Amino acid sequence: MNTIRTVALIGKYKSPEIAEPLLELAAFLEGRGLSVVIDPLTAVHVGDHRRLVLPLEGIGRQADLAIVIGGDGTMLNIARTLAPFDVPLVGVNMGRLGFLTDVSVDTMQDTVGAILDGQYVTEKRMLLQAEVRREHLRVMDVVAFNDVGVQKGADGGLIDLEVRVDGQFVYELRADGLIVASPTGSTAYALSAGGPIVHPSLSVLSLVPVCPHTLSNRPIIVSADSTVEILVVDAADARAHFDSHSHCDLKEGDRILVRRCSDQIRLLHPVAHDFYHMLRGKLHWTERPGR
Protein backbone atom coordinates (compact mmCIF):
# COMPACT_ATOMS: atom_id res chain seq x y z
CA MET A 1 0.00 0.00 0.00
CA ASN A 2 1.22 3.49 -0.81
CA THR A 3 2.18 5.90 1.96
CA ILE A 4 -0.91 7.03 3.85
CA ARG A 5 -1.29 10.79 4.09
CA THR A 6 -5.05 11.33 4.01
CA VAL A 7 -7.56 9.22 5.93
CA ALA A 8 -11.32 9.41 5.47
CA LEU A 9 -13.62 8.72 8.43
CA ILE A 10 -17.13 7.62 7.54
CA GLY A 11 -19.78 6.91 10.18
CA LYS A 12 -23.03 5.02 10.28
CA TYR A 13 -25.91 7.13 9.02
CA LYS A 14 -28.17 8.66 11.69
CA SER A 15 -26.18 7.21 14.58
CA PRO A 16 -25.22 9.94 17.08
CA GLU A 17 -23.28 7.41 19.18
CA ILE A 18 -20.47 7.36 16.61
CA ALA A 19 -19.56 11.00 17.32
CA GLU A 20 -17.30 10.40 20.31
CA PRO A 21 -15.20 7.53 18.93
CA LEU A 22 -14.99 9.14 15.50
CA LEU A 23 -13.70 12.44 16.86
CA GLU A 24 -11.26 10.60 19.13
CA LEU A 25 -9.94 8.68 16.14
CA ALA A 26 -9.68 11.88 14.11
CA ALA A 27 -7.55 13.49 16.83
CA PHE A 28 -5.40 10.35 17.03
CA LEU A 29 -4.76 10.37 13.28
CA GLU A 30 -3.96 14.08 13.24
CA GLY A 31 -1.57 13.48 16.13
CA ARG A 32 0.33 11.21 13.75
CA GLY A 33 0.55 14.00 11.17
CA LEU A 34 -2.21 12.75 8.88
CA SER A 35 -4.96 14.73 7.19
CA VAL A 36 -8.50 13.69 8.07
CA VAL A 37 -11.53 14.15 5.81
CA ILE A 38 -15.15 13.16 6.45
CA ASP A 39 -18.24 12.80 4.30
CA PRO A 40 -21.17 15.28 4.51
CA LEU A 41 -23.61 12.96 6.34
CA THR A 42 -21.02 12.10 8.96
CA ALA A 43 -20.14 15.77 9.41
CA VAL A 44 -23.77 16.64 10.13
CA HIS A 45 -24.28 13.92 12.70
CA VAL A 46 -21.02 14.36 14.61
CA GLY A 47 -21.12 18.15 14.52
CA ASP A 48 -17.60 18.41 13.10
CA HIS A 49 -17.02 21.80 11.47
CA ARG A 50 -13.21 21.76 11.64
CA ARG A 51 -12.27 19.11 9.14
CA LEU A 52 -12.51 19.01 5.37
CA VAL A 53 -15.81 17.60 4.15
CA LEU A 54 -15.86 15.71 0.84
CA PRO A 55 -18.55 13.70 -0.96
CA LEU A 56 -17.80 9.99 -1.25
CA GLU A 57 -16.57 10.41 -4.82
CA GLY A 58 -14.17 13.11 -3.61
CA ILE A 59 -13.02 10.81 -0.81
CA GLY A 60 -12.40 8.13 -3.43
CA ARG A 61 -10.13 10.45 -5.38
CA GLN A 62 -8.21 11.93 -2.44
CA ALA A 63 -8.11 9.45 0.47
CA ASP A 64 -5.35 6.88 0.88
CA LEU A 65 -7.41 4.96 3.45
CA ALA A 66 -11.05 4.97 4.54
CA ILE A 67 -12.12 3.90 8.02
CA VAL A 68 -15.80 3.01 8.31
CA ILE A 69 -17.32 3.19 11.79
CA GLY A 70 -20.62 1.37 12.20
CA GLY A 71 -21.43 -2.16 11.14
CA ASP A 72 -21.43 -4.47 8.16
CA GLY A 73 -24.42 -2.68 6.60
CA THR A 74 -22.55 0.62 6.63
CA MET A 75 -19.49 -1.06 5.13
CA LEU A 76 -21.59 -2.58 2.33
CA ASN A 77 -22.96 0.81 1.33
CA ILE A 78 -19.62 2.61 1.43
CA ALA A 79 -17.67 -0.19 -0.26
CA ARG A 80 -19.88 -0.18 -3.35
CA THR A 81 -19.29 3.54 -3.85
CA LEU A 82 -15.54 3.53 -3.19
CA ALA A 83 -14.74 0.32 -5.11
CA PRO A 84 -13.95 2.06 -8.44
CA PHE A 85 -11.29 4.14 -6.66
CA ASP A 86 -9.54 1.13 -5.04
CA VAL A 87 -9.39 2.86 -1.64
CA PRO A 88 -8.46 0.33 1.09
CA LEU A 89 -11.08 0.03 3.82
CA VAL A 90 -10.91 -0.68 7.54
CA GLY A 91 -14.12 -1.51 9.40
CA VAL A 92 -14.69 -0.50 13.04
CA ASN A 93 -17.74 -2.08 14.64
CA MET A 94 -19.71 -0.26 17.32
CA GLY A 95 -21.33 -3.45 18.61
CA ARG A 96 -20.47 -7.11 18.14
CA LEU A 97 -17.72 -7.62 15.59
CA GLY A 98 -19.06 -8.18 12.09
CA PHE A 99 -17.99 -10.22 9.10
CA LEU A 100 -16.60 -7.08 7.42
CA THR A 101 -16.12 -4.68 10.34
CA ASP A 102 -13.74 -6.69 12.50
CA VAL A 103 -12.03 -3.96 14.53
CA SER A 104 -13.44 -3.27 17.99
CA VAL A 105 -14.13 0.34 18.88
CA ASP A 106 -12.40 -0.33 22.22
CA THR A 107 -9.10 -1.19 20.52
CA MET A 108 -9.41 0.87 17.37
CA GLN A 109 -6.56 3.30 18.10
CA ASP A 110 -4.07 0.52 18.75
CA THR A 111 -5.28 -1.44 15.73
CA VAL A 112 -5.35 1.53 13.37
CA GLY A 113 -1.92 2.55 14.63
CA ALA A 114 -0.56 -0.90 13.80
CA ILE A 115 -2.12 -0.73 10.33
CA LEU A 116 -0.51 2.65 9.74
CA ASP A 117 2.80 1.04 10.75
CA GLY A 118 2.31 -1.61 8.07
CA GLN A 119 1.06 -4.40 10.33
CA TYR A 120 -2.01 -5.67 8.49
CA VAL A 121 -3.26 -8.29 6.07
CA THR A 122 -4.98 -7.36 2.82
CA GLU A 123 -8.08 -9.14 1.59
CA LYS A 124 -9.75 -8.55 -1.76
CA ARG A 125 -13.47 -9.16 -2.09
CA MET A 126 -15.36 -9.51 -5.35
CA LEU A 127 -18.47 -7.54 -6.29
CA LEU A 128 -21.41 -8.49 -8.48
CA GLN A 129 -22.51 -6.62 -11.58
CA ALA A 130 -26.20 -7.14 -12.30
CA GLU A 131 -28.59 -5.89 -14.92
CA VAL A 132 -32.27 -6.32 -15.69
CA ARG A 133 -33.21 -6.54 -19.35
CA ARG A 134 -36.74 -6.12 -20.64
CA GLU A 135 -37.09 -7.00 -24.31
CA HIS A 136 -34.29 -4.95 -25.90
CA LEU A 137 -33.94 -2.43 -23.07
CA ARG A 138 -31.65 -2.42 -20.05
CA VAL A 139 -33.94 -1.19 -17.29
CA MET A 140 -31.44 -1.49 -14.43
CA ASP A 141 -27.67 -1.81 -14.06
CA VAL A 142 -26.32 -2.00 -10.52
CA VAL A 143 -23.41 -3.24 -8.40
CA ALA A 144 -23.99 -5.49 -5.38
CA PHE A 145 -21.55 -6.64 -2.71
CA ASN A 146 -23.53 -9.45 -1.08
CA ASP A 147 -26.13 -10.78 -3.44
CA VAL A 148 -28.71 -10.40 -6.16
CA GLY A 149 -32.07 -11.95 -5.31
CA VAL A 150 -35.21 -12.62 -7.31
CA GLN A 151 -38.12 -13.01 -4.91
CA LYS A 152 -41.88 -13.39 -4.82
CA GLY A 153 -43.90 -10.35 -3.90
CA ALA A 154 -46.52 -9.51 -1.31
CA ASP A 155 -49.24 -11.70 -2.82
CA GLY A 156 -47.29 -14.76 -1.67
CA GLY A 157 -47.49 -16.74 -4.92
CA LEU A 158 -44.54 -18.84 -6.07
CA ILE A 159 -42.58 -17.58 -9.08
CA ASP A 160 -41.29 -19.61 -12.03
CA LEU A 161 -37.74 -19.01 -13.20
CA GLU A 162 -35.47 -20.48 -15.85
CA VAL A 163 -31.80 -20.49 -14.95
CA ARG A 164 -28.85 -20.60 -17.35
CA VAL A 165 -25.11 -20.39 -16.72
CA ASP A 166 -22.97 -19.19 -19.65
CA GLY A 167 -25.93 -19.87 -21.91
CA GLN A 168 -26.29 -23.48 -20.77
CA PHE A 169 -29.65 -24.50 -19.36
CA VAL A 170 -29.46 -25.48 -15.66
CA TYR A 171 -33.08 -25.91 -14.51
CA GLU A 172 -36.54 -24.46 -14.22
CA LEU A 173 -37.24 -23.35 -10.68
CA ARG A 174 -40.59 -22.85 -8.97
CA ALA A 175 -39.85 -21.26 -5.62
CA ASP A 176 -40.11 -18.24 -3.39
CA GLY A 177 -37.01 -17.00 -5.15
CA LEU A 178 -33.38 -17.45 -6.10
CA ILE A 179 -30.26 -15.81 -4.63
CA VAL A 180 -27.02 -15.30 -6.53
CA ALA A 181 -24.41 -14.58 -3.85
CA SER A 182 -20.78 -13.55 -3.80
CA PRO A 183 -18.48 -15.24 -1.26
CA THR A 184 -19.11 -12.25 1.02
CA GLY A 185 -22.86 -12.70 0.63
CA SER A 186 -22.63 -16.39 1.50
CA THR A 187 -22.85 -15.44 5.19
CA ALA A 188 -25.85 -13.15 4.65
CA TYR A 189 -29.27 -13.90 3.15
CA ALA A 190 -27.96 -16.95 1.26
CA LEU A 191 -26.91 -18.57 4.55
CA SER A 192 -30.40 -18.26 6.01
CA ALA A 193 -31.77 -19.87 2.83
CA GLY A 194 -29.57 -22.93 3.30
CA GLY A 195 -26.65 -21.94 1.13
CA PRO A 196 -23.01 -22.88 1.83
CA ILE A 197 -20.48 -20.69 3.60
CA VAL A 198 -17.84 -19.76 1.03
CA HIS A 199 -14.34 -18.62 1.95
CA PRO A 200 -13.90 -15.01 0.75
CA SER A 201 -10.70 -15.85 -1.14
CA LEU A 202 -12.61 -18.03 -3.61
CA SER A 203 -13.79 -16.70 -6.97
CA VAL A 204 -17.21 -18.32 -7.18
CA LEU A 205 -20.91 -17.52 -7.30
CA SER A 206 -23.50 -19.35 -5.21
CA LEU A 207 -26.96 -20.03 -6.66
CA VAL A 208 -29.29 -20.66 -3.74
CA PRO A 209 -33.00 -21.43 -4.24
CA VAL A 210 -35.36 -19.99 -1.63
CA CYS A 211 -38.00 -22.51 -0.47
CA PRO A 212 -38.10 -24.42 -3.78
CA HIS A 213 -41.28 -26.33 -4.63
CA THR A 214 -39.11 -29.33 -5.53
CA LEU A 215 -36.69 -30.17 -2.72
CA SER A 216 -34.17 -31.58 -5.18
CA ASN A 217 -33.40 -28.02 -6.30
CA ARG A 218 -30.20 -27.54 -4.30
CA PRO A 219 -27.58 -24.76 -4.10
CA ILE A 220 -24.99 -24.77 -6.89
CA ILE A 221 -21.51 -23.22 -6.91
CA VAL A 222 -20.24 -21.90 -10.25
CA SER A 223 -17.16 -20.01 -11.38
CA ALA A 224 -17.12 -16.26 -10.84
CA ASP A 225 -16.14 -15.95 -14.50
CA SER A 226 -19.60 -17.27 -15.42
CA THR A 227 -22.64 -15.23 -16.39
CA VAL A 228 -25.80 -16.29 -14.59
CA GLU A 229 -29.02 -15.58 -16.47
CA ILE A 230 -32.41 -15.77 -14.75
CA LEU A 231 -35.47 -15.64 -17.00
CA VAL A 232 -38.76 -14.73 -15.35
CA VAL A 233 -41.27 -17.24 -16.73
CA ASP A 234 -44.15 -16.43 -14.37
CA ALA A 235 -43.64 -13.16 -12.55
CA ALA A 236 -46.68 -13.10 -10.23
CA ASP A 237 -45.51 -10.16 -8.07
CA ALA A 238 -41.76 -10.76 -8.41
CA ARG A 239 -38.98 -8.34 -7.60
CA ALA A 240 -35.22 -8.26 -8.02
CA HIS A 241 -33.23 -7.06 -5.00
CA PHE A 242 -29.62 -5.92 -4.96
CA ASP A 243 -28.04 -6.00 -1.49
CA SER A 244 -31.42 -4.71 -0.27
CA HIS A 245 -30.26 -1.21 -1.26
CA SER A 246 -32.27 -1.11 -4.49
CA HIS A 247 -34.90 -3.16 -6.26
CA CYS A 248 -36.72 -3.59 -9.52
CA ASP A 249 -40.27 -4.84 -10.12
CA LEU A 250 -40.19 -7.67 -12.63
CA LYS A 251 -42.43 -8.71 -15.49
CA GLU A 252 -42.75 -11.98 -17.37
CA GLY A 253 -39.97 -12.26 -19.92
CA ASP A 254 -37.51 -10.11 -17.95
CA ARG A 255 -33.95 -11.40 -17.73
CA ILE A 256 -31.59 -10.77 -14.83
CA LEU A 257 -27.90 -11.15 -15.70
CA VAL A 258 -25.33 -11.49 -12.93
CA ARG A 259 -21.55 -11.61 -13.35
CA ARG A 260 -18.38 -10.62 -11.55
CA CYS A 261 -17.80 -6.86 -11.41
CA SER A 262 -14.50 -5.52 -12.75
CA ASP A 263 -13.99 -3.57 -9.50
CA GLN A 264 -12.95 -5.17 -6.22
CA ILE A 265 -13.08 -4.24 -2.55
CA ARG A 266 -9.78 -4.04 -0.68
CA LEU A 267 -10.13 -4.66 3.07
CA LEU A 268 -7.33 -4.25 5.60
CA HIS A 269 -7.44 -6.48 8.67
CA PRO A 270 -5.34 -6.76 11.84
CA VAL A 271 -2.51 -9.27 11.49
CA ALA A 272 -4.36 -11.66 13.81
CA HIS A 273 -7.39 -11.78 11.51
CA ASP A 274 -8.72 -15.34 11.21
CA PHE A 275 -11.83 -16.06 9.10
CA TYR A 276 -12.55 -19.34 10.87
CA HIS A 277 -12.16 -17.79 14.31
CA MET A 278 -14.67 -15.14 13.27
CA LEU A 279 -17.11 -17.79 12.06
CA ARG A 280 -16.84 -19.69 15.33
CA GLY A 281 -17.61 -16.53 17.26
CA LYS A 282 -20.45 -15.31 15.04
CA LEU A 283 -22.12 -18.70 14.58
CA HIS A 284 -21.36 -20.03 18.08
CA TRP A 285 -19.72 -23.18 16.77
CA THR A 286 -17.73 -23.60 19.98
CA GLU A 287 -20.82 -23.63 22.18
CA ARG A 288 -22.06 -26.95 23.48
CA PRO A 289 -25.78 -27.79 23.45
CA GLY A 290 -27.47 -26.62 26.61
CA ARG A 291 -24.77 -24.11 27.52
Spans of all domains in the chain: 6-120+270-283, 128-262
Mean pLDDT value across the chain: 93
Q: Which CATH architecture has domain 6-120+270-283?
A: 3-Layer(aba) Sandwich (3.40)
Is the domain 128-262 a CATH 2.60.200.30 member?
A: yes
Q: Quick one: pLDDT at residue 282? A: 87
**For position 177, what pLDDT does the model report?**
96
Determine how many CB atoms are found less than 10 A away from the CB of residue 250: 25
Q: Which of 48, 72, 102, 243 is catalytic?
A: 72
- Of the candidates 232, 247, 241, the one whose C-alpha atom is nearest the C-alpha of residue 189 is 241
Over the stretch 11-43, which tens digit does the pLDDT of each residue have? 998 888 899 999 999 999 999 999 999 999 999
Determine the pLDDT at residue 206. 98
pLDDT at 95 over 90: no
Contacts of 140 (CB under 8 A, 6+ apart): 130, 131, 132, 240, 246, 248
pLDDT at residue 157, rounded to an integer: 84
Q: Please tell me the predicted confidence (pLDDT) of residue 291.
A: 58
pTM of the model: 0.93
The model's pLDDT over 146-202, given as tens digits with 9 standing for 90+, comes to 999 999 987 778 999 999 999 999 999 999 999 999 999 999 999 999 999 999 999
pLDDT at residue number 245: 86
What are the E-state strand segments in 94-223? Answer: 103-104, 121-134, 137-144, 147-151, 159-165, 168-175, 177-181, 204-210, 220-223
Respond yes or no: is residue 72 known to be catalytic: yes
